[in-house]
């Protein structure tokens, strides 16, 4: 077993300033230096996991191979590092309390008083340490959700402090992500909120080793001196993090400030290799891309930028590889003039979703793509909507629908399978996590993947009803991939005689990486760019 090394990342001043990207970018740097990493996100809320949380509040729910429904930061970690994470990489305060209360009911505490210290903190530490032992990485990076000073965060900070005490200064490092303030009307930069945030952290027994300072202008020497003086963080450890147009540039910025060198020195690690070339080449390709295409993302959470984040990042990764600039046009599926906003669009993407709102707009957009030979990619509900559209407008089943939206529809082309219906608990009927799919020979899908058997992640309840497979196929819909576990489950569809009409019941966006864009997105971008 290796010497365990931990990096804790906290946030201060305000929320939403990029702790997740910071952890992802630092993980990338360590990977490029030849180290293995295990990123973990601790979420301070009381929900047991992110599965039931509204995208409006928390953005996308990310799904791991082993079927955990997690915070979207895990998506950043996977895209930046290429590592497949597991349920070990995300837990909430709610899950910690639920576990402890289960033990209490079972009588495990033998009548003792259960307290936040030591019982809750011990459970938090146990999760971090046992995940580290199971995965045996060179470095475990732990992102503490929330902002220092939040009541809910205290138990995480206290657990981190104890790990520092137990594993020692040479093995544990703290990074605090903060934001410089700009007062109006002069727009003068102010460091006071940073000073106060670090003071809060120190009152919890934690002295940060590094500060990542989000800023819209480069820090002045005076800013830097002041921050260092008041926070006791060495001057060269005050790292600037300006806004970047492409988040994948963040590791490059950090490297320019020698953050990687300082961190390795501080943890007693020696770089094993320097593997940054391809990463930086892709960024250059993306930034210098001359060819521009417009992709419409037709969904219902259009004003929340994080709701479809993995889909958007999968498009960015594919476009970086191919040197094409994607202009993403977010189209509200409830928009009255939906078709108007699809004018001059090179490709249409319909992502996943739950609930009836906006479904007719998605169907309309798909019909438009099908009839006008516009490349189309459908994901999960996107596939289901494409099947409904095809049933209605090609097979003549006028009111075809999904029983999720129309219980007594005449043509339930999308339905829950019989054995799924018997299960009472809705959660129990969800297909979650990775499973294998067999592709039909000679299909577009096979040519995209260049393989016969593929693995994709799922998060859905309804299926293309087996009763309608024949009639759909008879009218020309190609069912191009089925689950190996149950041959009734359609995982891919496509159309012949169309430049690119492909949909999947899975969520390929969760498996796309910056250095390894997903074949479906690659194919979609290529078709939309007509290359």
> Residue numbers of the site for ligand GLN (CB under 6 A)?
352-354, 380-381, 384, 404, 459-462
Instruction: Tell me the closest approach of the beta carbon of residue 15 to ligand GLN, in angstroms.
Output: 27
What CA–CA distance (Å, rounded) separates 315 from 364?
23
Dihedral pair phi/psi, residue 354, rounded to 5°: -130, 145
Instruction: Tell me the closest approach of the beta carbon of residue 356 to ligand GLN, in angstroms.
Output: 10
Nearer to ligand GLN, 11 or 358 (CB): 358
CB neighbours of residue 201 within 10 Å: 22
Nearer to ligand GLN, 176 or 459 (CB): 459
Nearer to ligand GLN, 269 or 506 (CB): 506
What CA–CA distance (Å, rounded) separates 148 from 14?
9
**Unique residue bearing structure tokens 């990076």:** 141
- Token pair of 116, please? 């936040």
SS3 per-residue string spanning 92-139: EHHHHHHHHHHHHHHCCCCCCCCCHHHHHHHHHHHHHHHHHHHHCCCE
- Residue 119 bears catalytic tag: no
Question: DSSP letter at 394?
Answer: T
Nearer to ligand GLN, 248 or 376 (CB): 376
Catalytic-role residue among 69, 123, 380, 404: 380
Instruction: Tell me the closest approach of the beta carbon of residue 394 to ligand GLN, in angstroms.
Output: 22
What CA–CA distance (Å, rounded) separates 227 from 370?
58
- Residue 509 bears catalytic tag: yes
Instruction: Tell me the closest approach of the beta carbon of residue 505 to ligand GLN, in angstroms.
Output: 8
Instruction: Tell me the closest approach of the beta carbon of residue 503 to ligand GLN, in angstroms.
Output: 11
On whether the CB atoms of residues 72 and 60 are closer than 8 A, the answer is: yes
What CA–CA distance (Å, rounded) separates 234 from 231?
9
Nearer to ligand GLN, 260 or 463 (CB): 463
Catalytic-role residue among 237, 304, 507, 518: 507
Catalytic-role residue among 33, 119, 509, 518: 509
- Residue 133 bears catalytic tag: no
- Token pair of 428, please? 């129990």
- Token pair of 457, please? 């992640």
Q: Which residue is nearest to ligand GLN (CB)?
A: 352
- What element of type H or E holds 9? strand 6-11
First-to-last C-alpha distance (Å) of the chain:
49
Nearer to ligand GLN, 255 or 401 (CB): 401
State the number of CA atoms in the 13 A half-sphere of 86 facing the CB. Answer: 9
What are the residue numbers of the active site? 380, 507, 509
């Amino acid at each position: 077993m290796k010497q365990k090394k931990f990096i804790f990342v906290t946030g201060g001043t305000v929320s939403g300033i990029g702790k997740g990207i910071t952890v992802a970018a630092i993980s990338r740097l360590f990977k490029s230096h030849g180290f293995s990493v295990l990123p973990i996100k601790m979420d301070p809320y009381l929900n047991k996991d992110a599965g039931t949380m509204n995208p409006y509040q928390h953005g996308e729910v990310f799904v791991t191979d082993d079927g955990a429904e997690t915070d979207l930061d895990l998506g950043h970690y996977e895209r930046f590092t290429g590592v497949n994470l597991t349920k070990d990489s995300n837990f909430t305060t709610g899950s910690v309390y639920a576990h402890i209360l289960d033990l209490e009911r079972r009588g495990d505490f033998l009548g003792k008083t259960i307290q936040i210290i030591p019982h809750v903190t011990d459970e938090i530490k146990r999760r971090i340490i046992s995940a580290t032992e199971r995965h045996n990485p060179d470095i475990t990076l732990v992102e503490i959700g929330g902002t220092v000073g939040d009541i809910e965060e205290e138990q995480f900070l206290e657990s981190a402090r104890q790990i520092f005490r137990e594993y020692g200064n040479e093995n544990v490092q703290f990074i605090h992500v903060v934001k410089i303030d700009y007062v109006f009307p002069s727009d003068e930069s102010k460091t006071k909120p940073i000073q106060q945030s670090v003071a809060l952290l120190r009152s919890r027994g934690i002295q940060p080793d590094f500060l990542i300072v989000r800023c819209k202008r480069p820090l002045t020497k005076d800013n830097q001196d002041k921050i260092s003086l008041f926070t006791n963080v060495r001057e060269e450890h005050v790292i600037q993090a300006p806004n970047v147009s492409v988040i994948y540039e963040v590791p490059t910025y950090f490297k320019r400030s020698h953050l990687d060198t300082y961190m390795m020195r501080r943890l007693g690690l020696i770089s094993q290799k320097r593997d940054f070339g391809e990463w930086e080449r892709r960024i250059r390709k993306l930034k210098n891309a001359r060819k521009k295409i417009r992709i419409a993302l037709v969904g219902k959470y259009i004003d929340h930028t994080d709701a479809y984040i993995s889909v958007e990042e999968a498009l960015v990764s594919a476009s970086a590889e191919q040197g094409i600039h994607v202009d993403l046009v977010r189209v509200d599926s409830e928009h009255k003039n939906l078709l108007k906003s699809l004018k001059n669009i090179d490709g249409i993407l319909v992502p996943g979703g739950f609930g009836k709102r906006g479904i007719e707009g998605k169907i309309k957009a798909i019909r438009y793509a099908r009839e006008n030979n516009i490349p189309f990619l459908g994901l999960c509900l996107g596939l289901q909507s494409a099947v409904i559209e095809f049933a209605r407008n090609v097979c003549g089943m006028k009111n075809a629908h999904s029983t999720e939206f129309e219980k007594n529809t005449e043509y339930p082309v999308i339905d829950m399978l019989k054995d799924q219906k018997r299960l009472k608990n809705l959660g129990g009927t969800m297909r979650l996590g990775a499973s294998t799919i067999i592709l039909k020979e000679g299909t577009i899908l096979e040519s995209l993947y260049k393989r016969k058997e593929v693995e994709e992640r799922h998060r859905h309840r309804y299926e293309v009803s087996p009763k309608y497979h024949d009639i759909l196929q008879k009218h020309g819909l190609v069912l191009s991939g089925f689950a190996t576990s149950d041959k009734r489950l359609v995982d891919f569809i496509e159309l012949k005689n169309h430049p690119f009409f492909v949909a999947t019941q899975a969520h390929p966006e969760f498996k796309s990486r910056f250095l390894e864009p997903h074949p479906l997105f690659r194919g979609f971008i290529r078709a939309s760019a007509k290359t």
